[in-house]
Structure 1
Amino acid sequence: MEQGCFTALITPFNKAEELDRQGLEQLIDFQIQNGITGILATGTTGESPTFKWKEHDHVIALTAKQTKGNCLCIAGTGSNNTQEAIVGAGHAAEEGVDAILMVDPYYNGPSSLEIRKEYYEVVAKQYPDMDIIPYIIPGRTGAQMLPQDLAILSENCPNITSVKEATGNFDNMTLTRKYCGDNFNILSGDDALVYEMMTHPEINACGSISVMANIAPKSMARMVTLLNQGKKQEALKIQNALKPLLDLVVVTTQEDTKNYGPVTCRARNPLPLKTMMQVLGMPSGPCRKPLGKMTAKGFEIVLKTMKQVHADTPDIFKPIAGFFNVDIDERL
């Protein structure tokens, strides 16, 4: 995969939690018009854990068709079942996607060695012409392929030349660069760390698979481009303007249970993002259960932050206003 900014696209639903096809098509066009390098369909942000495989394949097919000739298309096809991952990869290959993203197997807890040998290598050798991007996010999976096994994997499988790095662990990132070499592509999977990962001399990430590019594709893509050009100061200005939004990937509040004291509530991606998109007048709809709605406190944090960003840097939401024909001032 080439360097750049890829949007981890949401999947818009209607009130019945069914796919909003027209909304999906609009969101893809919005991304293309704002210069994104590529689109990731059916990732975590796209709520793939809630999909039946027929839905999963349908969203990939629609996205692959619409992006063809306009931007790159990545399909999320990972699983905690290797045979299922093979089937998903096969469908993505049939649809002509440019790459697949495979998350480390979740819940059943394989070792790093098992993840490499019994999962990634099996799929990579089954589809040698398909670019495969391992997705390392132990905070969601409870398992992790370590940099040592990633390096062996990239040596054994020529179609694995990139990783989506979302460990949040800079020691892990530096080891990945050390073991995998200078020609291996590290893509940030954490919006808040993109700037640091791309400017760190021992990491040298070359791009991002971004959540907030759903609402700020032009700004995110510009920042990544500037960083790849070595224009750190120009990129830092964009990073500073975006930072309040980037910090909203997870929104943490203290909620009162009345009789049992306060509890910590963490609204995780894509819930804060979809909430913002609804406020801004973009196709989004609800999250599928078991994700629910933002609490009143959480919504207040989101709205306050959006107002601040719009007041400080109105150009960030300007592409939304033009494409979706909405008045941002009125909506905020």
Structure 2
Amino acid sequence: MKPGCYTALVTPFTTDGTRVDREGLEQLAAFQIDGGITGILAVGTTGESPTLDWEEHNLVVEQVAKACKGRCLCIAGTGSNNTQEAMKATAHAVEQGVDAVLLVDPYYNGPSSIEIRREYVAPIAAAFPGVEIIPYIIPGRTGAQMLPEDLALLFKTHPNVSTVKEATADLNNMRRTRTCCGSDFTILSGDDAMTYEMVTDTAIDAAGVISVVSNIVPKAATQMVERLIGGDRAGAESLLNGLEPLFGLVTVKTREMTANGEVVCRARNPLAIKTLMRLLGMPSGPCRQPLGKMTRNGLEAVLAIARGVWRDHPELLQPIGDFFNVDISERLDNPKYQDGLYYENY
């Protein structure tokens, strides 16, 4: 894949969460393209792929692929824990003209690394030799992991498996991937907070990121990656200083008091990013069940991050105001925009 910044696009829903907001999806894709993004990933985890039915899944892929055509690259999430299901989804995505598909390691049924290679990625790569196949390694979500050694074997036998989305949070695993796969293999960060280190570590030599925070700051995120890849580390660090607080939106941890004592609440992606998008007046809608709402403490954490970025680096969020015709200050300060975004009690 081309080096750069790819947005793992959220899927906007109608207010009641029952339908995909097609107009909102078109606007979000246009905002990304206007920000100069390298490419857009449709229906990844951030796009709430687990709660889309296949009709909705295909609709989102079709609409995003159409929006990207001739403007930026398009990746479609087509992974599953069922190879035949992933094969059908990939066939549909290829028909829409996508540039690549993303195959998350099979979740829950927990195949071994050799099984992931031989019974999942390899058959799909063989069936669609003209499209880039990107394995997505995220054991914290899937409970399974294809190892660097198997990635290298795939790359050797299937030239279209030449990129990986690396979200293990294990730098040694990433270095091993580079050692096994060689210099012609592309490693993309699957974790915004690790992108700088992954790109600048010569033993990893990552080529960019599939990003969550670029949903709200595509221009700044893309520029940071471009500067990193171009060797302008000082320029990248300047942008990173403003972006870094936003990385805290991927998982928001709070301590909550219950009738039975204190608990830790983890609001996982995409809940916090969609909550901020709703606050800022961007198309988003709610998350689908079983995801729900932030706690009050969680919402306050999101607000603190956004207000800090707006105070210290307003240029990062102003493109939202310009594109969606909203007043960022009012959206962050007026309590009426917080209605319905959090649980009233634990």
Q: TM-score range by the shorter chain?
A: over 0.9
CA distance in 2, matches of 1:242, 1:93: 34
**1:112 Cα offset (Å):** 0.4
Deviations 1:263-287 (A, max 9, x none): 1110000000000101111000100
Q: Across the two proteins, how many residue pairs are aligned to each other? A: 331
Aligned residue number for residue 280 of structure 1: 280
TM-score, scaled relative to structure 2: 0.95
SS, match of residue 96 in structure 1: coil
Aligned residue number for residue 210 of structure 1: 211
Aligned residue number for residue 92 of structure 1: 93
% same residue: 60
Question: 1:1-332 alignment to 2 at 5 Å?
Answer: 1-17=1-17, 18-258=19-259, 260-332=260-332
Over 6 Å off, 4+ runs: none
**1:298 Cα offset (Å):** 0.3
Q: Which amino acid aligns with 1:263?
A: V
Deviations 1:114-173 (A, max 9, x none): 000000001100111111000000000000000010111111101111000000000000
SS, match of residue 37 in structure 2: coil
SS, match of residue 265 in structure 2: strand
CA distance in 2, matches of 1:266, 1:71: 34
Q: Which amino acid aligns with 1:39?
A: I
Structure 2: gaps (5+ residues): 333-346
Deviations 1:231-274 (A, max 9, x none): 0111011112111101220000111221x111111000000000
Deviations 1:78-122 (A, max 9, x none): 000001010000000111101000000000010001000000001
Give the alignment's Cα RMSD to 1 decimal: 0.6
SS, match of residue 321 in structure 1: helix
CA distance in 2, matches of 1:256, 1:292: 19
CA distance in 2, matches of 1:267, 1:242: 20
CA distance in 1, matches of 2:254, 2:141: 20
SS, match of residue 150 in structure 1: helix
SS, match of residue 201 in structure 1: coil
CA distance in 2, matches of 1:318, 1:264: 33
CA distance in 1, matches of 2:2, 2:192: 18
Deviations 1:299-319 (A, max 9, x none): 000101110111000100011
SS, match of residue 102 in structure 2: strand
Aligned residue number for residue 340 of structure 2: none
CA distance in 1, matches of 2:137, 2:312: 34
CA distance in 1, matches of 2:90, 2:126: 12
CA distance in 1, matches of 2:176, 2:239: 28
CA distance in 2, matches of 1:255, 1:30: 36
SS, match of residue 156 in structure 2: helix
Q: Which amino acid aligns with 1:321?
A: G
CA distance in 2, matches of 1:56, 1:249: 23
CA distance in 2, matches of 1:54, 1:24: 15
Q: Which amino acid aligns with 1:104?
A: D
Q: Which amino acid aligns with 2:167?
A: A
CA distance in 1, matches of 2:307, 2:248: 15
CA distance in 2, matches of 1:121, 1:324: 43
**1:16 Cα offset (Å):** 2.2
Aligned residue number for residue 339 of structure 2: none
